[in-house]
Structure 1
Amino acid sequence: MEAVQWNKVDMTLKYVTAKIPEVTDDSVLVEVSHAGVCGTDLHIMQKEFLWSSDLVILGHEFSGTVVKVGKNVKNVAVGQRVAVEVNSICGGCEFCRRGKPNFCKDGMAKAIGVMVNGGFSNFCLVPGTQAIPVPDSLPLDKAALCEPCSCIIHGYELLGKVEDGSKILIMGAGIIGLLWASMLHHRGFRNVTMVEVADGRRQLAKDTGLGFDVLHPSALEESFKGKETSEDGFDIVVDCTGNSRAIEMALYMLKSGAKLLIFGCAPPTAEIKVKPAQIQFKELSIIGVHINPYCFTKAVTLVCDMEDEYLDFKRLGIEVFPLDQFESAISKLKAGQISKAMFCVKKE
Structure 2
Amino acid sequence: MNTMDALKFSFLDGTLLLTRSELPQINDPNDILVKVSFAGICGTDLHILAGEYPCRKSTEISLGHEISGVIVEVGQDVIHFEEGDHVAIDPNSGCKRCAFCHAGKPHYCKLGCTTNTIGIYVDGGWAQYLVCPEEQVYKLNPPITLEQAVLAEPISCMVHGWELISPITVGAKILLMGGGVAGALWACTLHLQGHRDVMISEPIQSRLDQLRKLNTGFKMITPEQLRKNAYDDPGSYAFDVVIDCSGSPPAIEQGISLLNFGGKYCQYGVAPPNSRIQINPFDVFWKEMKILGSKINPYCFKKALSLIEAMGNRYLNYKVLGIKTFQLSQYNEAIETLKQGKILKAVFKIN
5 Å-filtered alignment, 1:25-104, equals 25-53=29-57, 54-104=59-109
The separation in 1 between residues aligned to 2:198 and 2:63, in whole angstroms, is: 34
Structure 1 counterpart of 2:161, from 152, 155, 178: 155
In the TM superposition, what whole-angstrom CA distance separates every residue of 1:213-272 from its partner, at most 9, and x where no partner exists? 00111212222234445x851010000111111011111110000011011010011100
Instruction: Quote the residue 2:269 is aligned against.
Output: 264
The separation in 1 between residues aligned to 2:168 and 2:316, in whole angstroms, is: 23
Structure 2 counterpart of 1:17, from 17, 20, 41: 20
* SS of equivalent to 1:219: helix
Aligned partner of 1:104: which letter? C
More off after superposition, 103-112 vs 34-43: 103-112
Instruction: Quote the residue 2:246 is aligned against.
Output: 241
Instruction: Quote the residue 2:143 is aligned against.
Output: 137
* SS of equivalent to 2:16: strand
* SS of equivalent to 2:326: strand
Aligned partner of 2:22: which letter? K
The separation in 1 between residues aligned to 2:340 and 2:313, in whole angstroms, is: 28
The separation in 1 between residues aligned to 2:128 and 2:340, in whole angstroms, is: 27
Instruction: Quote the residue 2:183 is aligned against.
Output: 177
Per-residue deviation, 1:14: 0.5
The separation in 2 between residues aligned to 1:226 and 1:203, in whole angstroms, is: 25
The separation in 2 between residues aligned to 1:26 and 1:164, in whole angstroms, is: 44
Instruction: Determine if contact 2:257/2:279 at 8 Å carries over to the other structure.
Output: no
The separation in 1 between residues aligned to 2:17 and 2:309, in whole angstroms, is: 34
The separation in 1 between residues aligned to 2:153 and 2:138, in whole angstroms, is: 11
Instruction: Quote the residue 1:284 is aligned against.
Output: 289
Per-residue deviation, 1:144: 0.2
Instruction: Determine if contact 1:44/1:52 at 8 Å carries over to the other structure.
Output: no
Per-residue deviation, 1:306: 0.7
Per-residue deviation, 1:206: 1.7
Q: CA RMSD in A?
A: 1.2
Return structure 1 stretches of 4+ with deviation > 6 angstroms.
none
The separation in 1 between residues aligned to 2:263 and 2:30, in whole angstroms, is: 45
5 Å-filtered alignment, 1:117-132, equals 117-132=123-138
The separation in 1 between residues aligned to 2:321 and 2:126, in whole angstroms, is: 22
Per-residue deviation, 1:79: 1.1
Instruction: Quote the residue 1:296 is aligned against.
Output: 301
The separation in 2 between residues aligned to 1:119 and 1:136, in whole angstroms, is: 23
Per-residue deviation, 1:71: 1.1
1:214 aligned onto 2:220: yes
Per-residue deviation, 1:50: 3.2
Q: TM-score, normalised by structure 2?
A: 0.96
Instruction: Determine if contact 1:34/1:140 at 8 Å carries over to the other structure.
Output: yes
Q: Name the % identity.
A: 39
Instruction: Determine if contact 1:2/1:122 at 8 Å carries over to the other structure.
Output: yes
Per-residue deviation, 1:163: 1.0
* SS of equivalent to 2:131: strand
1:315 aligned onto 2:306: no
In the TM superposition, what whole-angstrom CA distance separates every residue of 1:299-345 from its partner, at most 9, and x where no partner exists? 01111111221011111110001111111101101111111100100
The separation in 1 between residues aligned to 2:101 and 2:125, in whole angstroms, is: 26
Question: What is the aligned residue count?
Answer: 345
Q: Tell me, which stretches of 5 or more residues in structure 2 are unaligned?
A: none
Aligned partner of 1:33: which letter? S
Aligned partner of 2:289: which letter? L
The separation in 1 between residues aligned to 2:278 and 2:208, in whole angstroms, is: 27
The separation in 2 between residues aligned to 1:262 and 1:340, in whole angstroms, is: 20
Instruction: Determine if contact 2:31/2:132 at 8 Å carries over to the other structure.
Output: yes
* SS of equivalent to 2:312: helix
* SS of equivalent to 2:64: coil
Instruction: Quote the residue 1:189 is aligned against.
Output: 195
* SS of equivalent to 1:118: coil
Q: TM-score, normalised by structure 1?
A: 0.97
